[in-house]
Amino acid sequence: MPKYRIAWLPGDGIGVDVLKATKIVLDKVGLDAEYVHGAIGWDFWCAEGDALPRRTIDLLHNVDAALFGAITSKPIKDSQKELSPSLQSKGLTYRSPIVRMRQLFDLYICLRPCKAYAGNPLNFKEAIDLVVFRENTEDLYSGVEFSPVPAELAETLERLSKPFEPFSRLPHDQYAISCKINTFHGSERLVRSAFEFARKFKRKKVTVVHKANVVRASDGIFFDAAKAVAKQYPEIQMDDANVDAMTMWLLKNPFNYDVLVAPNLYGDIISDLCAQMVGGLGFGCSGNIGQKLAVFEPSHGSAPKYAGMDKVNPIATVLAAKMMLDWLGETQMGISLEAAVAAVIKEGNVRTYDMHGSHSTTDMAKAIAAHLP
């Protein structure tokens, strides 16, 4: 019996291309695993009314990790139109499968390493090496939203909050409320994972990104939790920055930063910025990590215009597979895989279109595989 059971979730569009390519690399690195295909994505929404069918959730309960490609999401009206006619009148609403996986399996860490590999023509600066820890289940992404705003909520807010008054005078369908919910527990465990990472990999500094001077309540609790955790790691420097200033400072001097930790929305934005500094969508990888399950993925979407063309860069997904190897404890394989990626980038002989080359997805995967022992 293979040592590991991995859920294999290609999803839509180029998700299929990049997972196919990554399989070439994983086979060469020799991971002793059974890869079990899981249904996920747009086709399953259209045919079954569920982009993350029950059988896939069951599968995820019985694997060591998952590798996920990408999914297509469309606006509500389009999603209703494309639903199979027999399902049209059932009142189904499309829900993002990746958001659901994060919530169902409490994948509270979104880990996004952003490293500039030497020789990548897309590097903003050479030698950038940042790691972003983004909270993955709370904050503005809690899913607690009101539009139109129910009268009882408006009345309560008017009673409890002075600054709410001008809004309450508006018709209830003329404003909307999205709740930013941050818990001490949720913030604390995320920040702890960032400090644990820093300790394990001898990183010097953890920067807490927030806006606690304005968003006092919810960012305040995040920052308080961060300060409490930091005390327990005296060997690691902690500093903090407002999220807006952070975007400027990151561009001005990325070398001042090391590990970054942030609530969901700020983490989403900051990690895209960091990914762009090290090559963009073809290089950005992430891990959605919980206590029992972790789902690894490239950060890009399904890029429908390139679907099935064997054209896009598979490096983001190969690096996501490297993160998966690390998480499984196959550290040596992870090191070999990253070294192979770094070597191919440095040599510069095989480059996909985003790197100003003309090689295919498969060419890139084969080149990486060829550098593995």
Binding site for ligand NAI (CB under 6 A): 70-73, 98, 281-282, 300-303, 305, 312-313, 316, 354
Nearest distance in Å: CB 329, ligand NAI: 26
Q: What is the DSSP letter of 141?
A: T
DSSP-derived secondary structure letter, 112: E
Q: What 3-state class would DSSP assign to 262?
A: strand
> Cα(41)–Cα(47) distance, rounded to whole angstroms?
10
Closer residue to ligand NAI, CB minimum distance, 19 or 212: 19
Min CB(272)–ligand NAI separation in Å: 10
d(CA 264, CA 268) in angstroms, rounded, equals 6
For residue 8, the surrounding DSSP H or E stretch is strand 4-11
Minimum Å gap between C-beta 302 and ligand NAI is: 4
Nearer to ligand NAI, 115 or 211 (CB): 115
Instruction: Give the H/E segment covering residue 346.
Output: helix 331-347
CB of 36 to ligand NAI, least distance (A): 20
370 φ, ψ (degrees, to nearest 5): -65, -20
Nearest residue to the partner ligand NAI, using Cβ: 301
Work out how close the CB of 82 gets to ligand NAI at its nearest, in angstroms, rounded to a whole number. Answer: 12
Helix (H, G, I), strand (E, B) or coil at 233: coil
| Identity of the residue, 303 or 325, whose beta carbon is nearer to ligand NAI in the bound complex | 303
Nearer to ligand NAI, 299 or 336 (CB): 299
β-bridge mates for residue 296, sequence order: 67, 287
Comparing CB distances to ligand NAI, the nearer of 67 and 312 is 312
Token representation of residue 215: 């968003």
